[in-house]
Amino acid sequence: MTEFSICDLARNGLRAATVTDVGTVLVTISMGMSASRMVCPWELVRLRAAEVERGFGARWRWNN
- Distance (Å, rounded) from C-alpha 41 to C-alpha 32? 20
Band (pLDDT 50/70/90 cuts) for residue 12 is confident
- Distance (Å, rounded) from C-alpha 28 to C-alpha 50? 23
The DSSP result for 41-59, as a single string, is GGG-EEPPHHHHHTTHHHH
* In contact, 62 and 17? CB cutoff 8 Å: yes
- Distance (Å, rounded) from C-alpha 30 to C-alpha 20? 7
Average pLDDT over residues 19-33: 80
- Distance (Å, rounded) from C-alpha 15 to C-alpha 43? 11
pLDDT in tens, 27-60: 888 876 667 888 888 888 888 765 655 655 444 4
